Amino acid sequence: MSGRLAARVLLAGFPGSAGVPPWLADAIADGLGGVVLFAENTPDVASTRALVDALRARRPDGPGLVVAVDEEGGDVSRLEAATGSSLPGAAALGAVDDPDLTRACGAALGAVLAAAGVDLDLAPCLDVASEPRNPVIGVRAFGADPGLVARHGSAFAAGLAAAGIASCAKHFPGHGDTRVDSHVDLPVLGAPLATVLARDVAPFDALAGDVDAVMTAHVVVPEAGPEPASLSRWATRRLREAGFAGAIVTDALGMRAVTGEAGLGETCVRALEAGADLLCLDAPHQRDPRAAYDEATAAIEAALATGRLDAGELEASAARVARLVRRGPEKARAGSGAERERRGTGGVLLPSGSRASLEALRTLGRAAARRALGVAGDVRLRGAPLLVDVRGEASYAAGRHGAAFAVALSAAGAPVEVLRPDSPASEVIARVRGAAEVVFLTRRALGEPAERELLDAFTAARPDAVVVHTGTADSAPAAARLVLALGNGRANAEAVAAALTGATT
């Protein structure tokens, strides 16, 4: 047995980008299965690569360290958290419905991840967006049709594979038909089991042989049992019966949906009992990462000592985890050196160097976002716009809303004044009535009553305003001048800016 067996099935987060914390260096030396990078670890590709190289240097021999990141494009980005993603996201790709484009986007993103030294992308989302009021999935899904989701999930995973990046389909058995964010509480898929299997599970069945890992969700399917899928033997058995042989990864086990009174350590043991292979602990901004690692390893080792957990099963899990490491020493050196080019799917040339890879990603993402854009009415601006952002808080997964739309409008030649409706509604309405042009920015007006009330009040004052909706198409409000952005990333914002200003570049 190489290293502490308990450590080999853990995926840990850590704070900052300055270096490797001493506790994490010890954990890696002890055989830690992997680390997951968050936005605070990834200020840019070059810094991320330096940090990843430092992590790997802590264990030069023995099983490789899996380096994972949550990089979906669109609303969820870590490497481009500061500016917004260069990809428009899954909903936009599903709306275009060109699998070759989706495959090329996955390959272009994979080239950037490879340059950063990443092994595993926690994408694509195979959730079927059947609930317009869903607070956490929405535009992260390719769409509401299981066949479309499977088609584009497969294409995206193939693109990642062409760049040497492992994929992780999520969130099994499907998080799309829920109205609860598992960061906050435990969601329940209330549909009959037959519906869940035919609609939500179907894309996972279709991709059982196409992805390297599957992430289980903190979602209860009542007919399958009282436990959430991440702690349920039913979920892991169902994946294996469908032919999936890769690593089963849990969603973050620090979420309130599962930890509750049991505590993180006990939750980790339950996940392993259920058949999970790799336990995602928690984000470093949600819980002290060293304390989380210590609690998890102590609980797992105690369960091994009492026979509650079987060492042979954990060894098998650790072996599946180790197979996620895609970048050997030769590939790692190539990725940080000369601008070698590899031909990806669809004939797209994928430069290994980070600068060229980022430029290729941005070019492709810009074209994809424009193809996905939906426009109703004449949305061309005829004066300097007042941008009123009525979007509620972003989801835990996406992080805070950025300034991508204001930046994109200004760059496209429409200097914009941004107004957040923090002032009394009467003052905002007065400003709105006096502006030459008004653009309202929405995301979940259908699902968030506060956002809906603000939008109704403001559009009553300016019914001629342009409404830019960043959520799913079926959750869009009615408006005479409407733009469906299908995401909040930089590529989405630039496509909207082009439509509003008539820019062609």
Query: In which band, very low, low, confident or very high, does the pLDDT at 257 lie, cut at 50, 70 and 90?
Result: low
Pair 182, 153: CB distance under 8 Å: no
Give the model's pLDDT for residue 348: 38
> Could you tell me which residues come within 8 angstroms of residue 334 by beta carbon, excluding any fewer than 6 positions away?
340, 352
* Cα 381 to Cα 465: distance, rounded to the nearest angstrom: 10
- 168-219 confidence digits (pLDDT tens): 999 999 998 887 766 667 888 889 999 999 999 999 999 999 999 999 999 9
Give the model's pLDDT for residue 399: 58
Give yes or no for a cis peptide into 171 (omega within 30° of 0).
yes
* Cα 346 to Cα 158: distance, rounded to the nearest angstrom: 11
Residue 289 has pLDDT above 70, yes or no: yes
User: Phi and psi at residue 438, in whole multiples of 5°?
Assistant: -130, 135
* Cα 428 to Cα 70: distance, rounded to the nearest angstrom: 37
Query: H or E element: which one contains 468?
Result: strand 466-469
Q: Is the dihedral of CA 78, 174, 185, 298 positive or negative?
A: negative
Catalytic residue among 251, 277, 282, 389: 251
- 142-177 confidence digits (pLDDT tens): 999 999 999 999 999 999 999 999 999 999 999 988
- Which residues are registered as beta bridge partners of 36? 68
* 330-335 average pLDDT score: 35
Residue 136 burial class via C-beta count within 10 angstroms: exposed 0-12, middle 13-18, buried 19 and up: buried
Cβ atoms within 10 A of the Cβ of 18, count? 10
Task: Give the lowest-confidence range in 259-268, 276-285, 317-326.
Answer: 259-268
Give the model's pLDDT for residue 245: 97
**Token pair for residue 64?**
């490789």
Residue 340 has pLDDT above 60, yes or no: no
Catalytic residue among 152, 171, 175, 183: 183
Residue 471 has pLDDT above 90, yes or no: yes
Query: In which band, very low, low, confident or very high, does the pLDDT at 328 lie, cut at 50, 70 and 90?
Result: very low
* Cα 136 to Cα 338: distance, rounded to the nearest angstrom: 40
Task: Give the lowest-confidence range in 76-80, 298-302, 327-331, 463-467.
Answer: 327-331
Active site residue 218: no
| Beta-sheet strands, E only, within 142-300 | 166-172, 213-216, 247-250, 279-280
The identity of residue 69, as a single letter, is V
Task: Give the lowest-confidence range in 119-123, 330-334, 363-367, 477-481.
Answer: 330-334
- Ordered by where they begin, the domains of the chain are 86-335 (3.20.20.300), 373-501 (3.40.50)
- 16-43 confidence digits (pLDDT tens): 999 999 999 999 999 999 999 999 999 9
**Checking phi first, is residue 31 left (phi over 0); if not, alpha (psi -120 to 50) or beta?**
left
Query: In which band, very low, low, confident or very high, does the pLDDT at 469 lie, cut at 50, 70 and 90?
Result: very high
Percent residues over pLDDT 70 in the chain: 90
- 42-69 confidence digits (pLDDT tens): 999 999 999 999 999 998 876 789 999 9
* Cα 158 to Cα 107: distance, rounded to the nearest angstrom: 8
DSSP string covering 335-346: HTSS--EEE-GG
Give the model's pLDDT for residue 444: 87
Active site residue 389: no
DSSP 331: H
- 483-501 confidence digits (pLDDT tens): 999 999 999 999 999 999 9
Give the model's pLDDT for residue 394: 64
Q: Tell which wins on pLDDT, 254 or 218.
A: 218
Give the model's pLDDT for residue 131: 87
Give the model's pLDDT for residue 353: 65
Query: In which band, very low, low, confident or very high, does the pLDDT at 339 lie, cut at 50, 70 and 90?
Result: very low
- 412-465 confidence digits (pLDDT tens): 988 888 887 776 778 889 999 999 999 999 998 888 888 899 899 999 999 999
Give the model's pLDDT for residue 136: 86
* Cα 26 to Cα 63: distance, rounded to the nearest angstrom: 15
Give the model's pLDDT for residue 403: 86
Query: In which band, very low, low, confident or very high, does the pLDDT at 468 lie, cut at 50, 70 and 90?
Result: very high
Letter string b/e over residues 410-428, b meaning 16 or more CB atoms within 10 A of that residue's CB? eebebebebbebeeeeeeb
Q: Tell which wins on pLDDT, 198 or 326.
A: 198
In which order are the strands placed within the sheet that holds 213-216? 247-250, 213-216, 166-172, 120-121, 66-69, 34-37, 10-12, 279-280
Report the mean per-residue pLDDT for the chain. Answer: 89
> Could you tell me which residues come within 8 angstroms of residue 77 by beta carbon, excluding any fewer than 6 positions away?
39, 71, 84, 85, 87, 489
